[in-house]
């Protein structure tokens, strides 16, 4: 299929749908640095490139849809977090955002630790050579097998999430002749959302042990009594895609309050606190995320101040960014298949992927940006909805966005900031084949997760 402009491309519908972006950007060919990975640029001939390779070449070699990861950007971001927190703190990359063996090796190289939340993530981490003592194991219902595997491997910490798990992990550790380092995950009564934090209904969730009503203090009491456990700290994670630090401030205040109560009751000063992940990234030009050094400075100050007030030694801090490291480093490359102009209603641009490679729009009403990347265009902006090829009308990739009115089948478009929670939440809905993840760096591209094939689908279908 030709990738050139279609002379008779549709124009946008006359009536703008509700909730549309207020105005088209001044220049549709411009790539906003905020949402694109650091090496993404438009070459003089108008094609977008990443890591020095044009997307048209990448599409030919690897097909579409494909997730393209800018390895240089990933490493830079990982390093920025590491440097910002320094040697007296730990950065655990949250593998749930996206995990593969190559990613584990990049993290290892850059001195980060890893947070895993399933046996599958643990296996991936170990098989790529992440030292077990740099792994934290999370989850609200880890299986006995998972706990046993983690303890045998020697994971650095298990984050305990319930009263049952305190006993379960202690027994398994003891039966293996081990003393497992653990943290207790508590819910501090802050539920952070994108631009706000809401202090109601916060304890009504499946994660953690509530601070309220003395449950967290009771969990600490029990953990301290069990020989199989070495309680090293308290863990709190308040939410995701957060821009406002005030939620972390309240969380740190309450976690330190618990450390003080533990010292007063047991004469023990726990040496660590983990403030979780959740730092926001830019999905559209309207988002303004903070830099890692600002976040580190803010968190360090909050914790030191709170500890000073409580007359506690400042504990070692750890954080667990997932999205903030991998999210901005990748984009999804799609080929336009059809363009449907519904007069007076909306223009639908269908691509060769959809909710199976990015469920976030359907699931969270997430906002994304999109750009024509196989060429430039001087055509007028056209308001469109980018949709996938699945048998579901909610199969939306980008709800409302402007693309040039001469957009045509065969054009390549890309959705930036899809590094986090897209491949990791991808599905086989409609027996879609999950796209590959291709890492690009300094003029070289290599597949780090290959595209699924129909043989892969049939391999599991053993009926």
**Is residue 449 close enough to count as binding ligand LLP by CB under 6 A?**
no
User: For residues 84 and 445, which CB has a smaller minimum distance to ligand LLP in the complex?
Assistant: 84
Where does this chain touch ligand LLP (CB under 6 A) — which range of 150-158, 315-323, 344-352, 426-434? 315-323
Q: Which of residues 157-196 bind ligand LLP (CB under 6 A)?
A: none
Per-residue binder mask for ligand LLP (CB under 6 A), 35-74, x = binder = ----------------------------------------
User: For residues 9 and 276, which CB has a smaller minimum distance to ligand LLP in the complex?
Assistant: 276
Residue carrying structure tokens 């580190």: 296
Give the residue, chosen from 48, 80, 94, 417, that forms a contact with ligand LLP under the rule CB under 6 A.
94
* Helical (H) or strand (E) element with 49: strand 48-50
Shortest distance, position 320 Cβ to ligand LLP, whole Å: 4
Taking a C-beta distance cutoff of 8 angstroms, is the pair 223, 216 a contact?
no
Where does this chain touch ligand LLP (CB under 6 A) — which range of 43-51, 63-71, 125-133, 237-245? 237-245
**Is residue 156 close enough to count as binding ligand LLP by CB under 6 A?**
no
**Is residue 97 close enough to count as binding ligand LLP by CB under 6 A?**
yes
User: For residues 174 and 424, which CB has a smaller minimum distance to ligand LLP in the complex?
Assistant: 424
Q: Which of residues 270-309 bind ligand LLP (CB under 6 A)?
A: 276-279
User: For residues 135 and 339, which CB has a smaller minimum distance to ligand LLP in the complex?
Assistant: 135
CA–CA dist 24, 371 (Å, integer): 12
Give the residue, chosen from 320, 335, 357, 411, that forms a contact with ligand LLP under the rule CB under 6 A.
320
User: For residues 9 and 328, which CB has a smaller minimum distance to ligand LLP in the complex?
Assistant: 328
Number of residues lying near ligand LLP (CB under 6 A):
21
In the residue annotation, 422 being an active-site residue is answered as no
**Is residue 375 close enough to count as binding ligand LLP by CB under 6 A?**
no
CA–CA dist 416, 37 (Å, integer): 8
**Is residue 138 close enough to count as binding ligand LLP by CB under 6 A?**
yes
The DSSP bridge partners found for residue 67 are 332, 437
**Is residue 247 close enough to count as binding ligand LLP by CB under 6 A?**
no
Upper half-sphere CA count for residue 27 (Cβ side, 13 Å): 5
List strand residue ranges (DSSP E) for 95-192, in order. 113-116, 135-137, 157-160, 180-187, 191-192
Q: Which residues are catalytic?
A: 391
Would you tell me which residues interact with ligand LLP (CB under 6 A)? Answer: 94, 96-97, 115, 138, 237, 240-241, 276-279, 320-324, 360, 364, 420-421
């Amino acid at each position: 299929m030709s990738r050139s402009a279609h002379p008779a491309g549709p124009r946008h519908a006359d009536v703008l749908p509700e909730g549309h972006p207020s105005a088209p950007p001044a220049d549709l060919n411009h790539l906003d640095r905020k949402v694109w990975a650091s090496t993404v640029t438009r070459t003089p001939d108008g094609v977008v490139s990443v890591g020095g390779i044009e997307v048209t070449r990448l599409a030919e070699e690897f097909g579409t849809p494909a997730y393209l990861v800018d390895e240089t950007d990933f490493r830079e971001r990982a390093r920025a977090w590491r440097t910002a927190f320094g040697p007296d703190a730990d950065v655990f990359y949250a593998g749930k955002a996206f995990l593969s063996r190559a990613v584990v090796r990049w993290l290892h190289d850059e001195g980060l630790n890893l947070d895993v939340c399933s046996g599958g993530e643990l296996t991936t981490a170990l098989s790529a050579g992440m030292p077990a003592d740099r792994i934290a194991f999370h989850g609200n219902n880890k299986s006995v097998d998972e706990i046993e595997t983690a303890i045998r491997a020697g994971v650095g910490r298990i984050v305990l999430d319930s009263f049952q798990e305190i006993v379960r992990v202690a027994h398994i550790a003891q039966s293996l002749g081990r003393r497992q380092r653990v943290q207790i995950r508590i819910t501090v009564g802050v539920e952070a959302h994108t631009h706000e934090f809401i202090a109601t209904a916060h304890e009504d969730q499946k994660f953690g042990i509530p601070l309220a009503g003395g449950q967290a203090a009771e969990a600490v009491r029990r953990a301290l009594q069990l020989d199989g456990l070495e309680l090293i700290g308290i863990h709190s994670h308040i939410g995701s895609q957060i821009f406002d630090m005030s939620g972390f401030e309240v969380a740190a205040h309450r976690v330190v309050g618990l450390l003080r109560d533990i010292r007063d009751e047991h004469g023990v000063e726990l040496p660590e606190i983990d403030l979780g992940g959740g730092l926001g990234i830019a999905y559209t030009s309207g988002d303004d995320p903070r830099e890692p050094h600002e976040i580190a400075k803010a968190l360090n100050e909050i914790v030191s101040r709170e500890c000073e007030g409580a007359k506690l030694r400042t504990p070692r801090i750890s954080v667990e960014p997932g999205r903030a490291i991998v999210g901005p480093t990748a984009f999804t490359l799609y080929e336009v298949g059809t363009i449907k102009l519904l007069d007076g209603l909306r223009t639908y641009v269908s691509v060769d992927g959809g909710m199976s490679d990015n469920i976030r729009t359907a699931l969270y009403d997430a906002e994304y940006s999109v750009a024509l990347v196989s060429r430039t265009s001087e055509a007028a902006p056209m308001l469109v909805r980018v949709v996938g090829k699945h048998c579901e009308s909610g199969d939306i990739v980008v709800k409302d966005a402007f693309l040039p009115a001469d957009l045509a089948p065969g054009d390549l478009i890309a959705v930036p900031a899809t590094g986090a929670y897209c491949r990791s939440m991808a599905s086989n809905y409609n027996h879609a084949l999950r796209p590959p993840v291709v890492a690009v760096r300094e003029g070289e591209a290599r597949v780090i997760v290959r595209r699924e094939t129909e043989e892969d689908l049939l391999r599991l279908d053993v009926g």
